[in-house]
Amino acid sequence: MKWVSAVLLCLLVMLQYRLWFGKNSIPDYLSMQKEVEIQSIQNANLKQRNSLLIADIEDLKIGLDAAEERARNDLGLIKQGETFYRILPSEN
């Protein structure tokens, strides 16, 4: 009877060791769960950026107004007959 109890106790200790310190243990599970949360946040940010880029592409496909606005803001487009004024802040 003592022999069976010793074997069962040994098996219990080995299973507990594997649960807490072995491969795919509880600490491994918790660290992977944190990595999944971080990746989910990154994916959400990328989805938001992609939706903004898709909206920008659709605006550019629809008309020339969006392209002209973008050229004015990004490239400093000035049409023929327009006058460009540059206002500098005071040095005070």
Task: Label residue 38 by pLDDT band (50, 70, 90).
Answer: very high
**DSSP helix/strand/coil, 29:** helix
pLDDT number for residue 65: 76
**This model's pTM is above 0.85:** no
pLDDT number for residue 1: 80
pLDDT number for residue 92: 73
Q: How many CB atoms lie within 10 A of CB 66?
A: 15
Give φ, ψ of 78 to 5 degrees. Answer: -130, 125
pLDDT number for residue 53: 92
Statement: residue 34 has pLDDT above 80 = yes
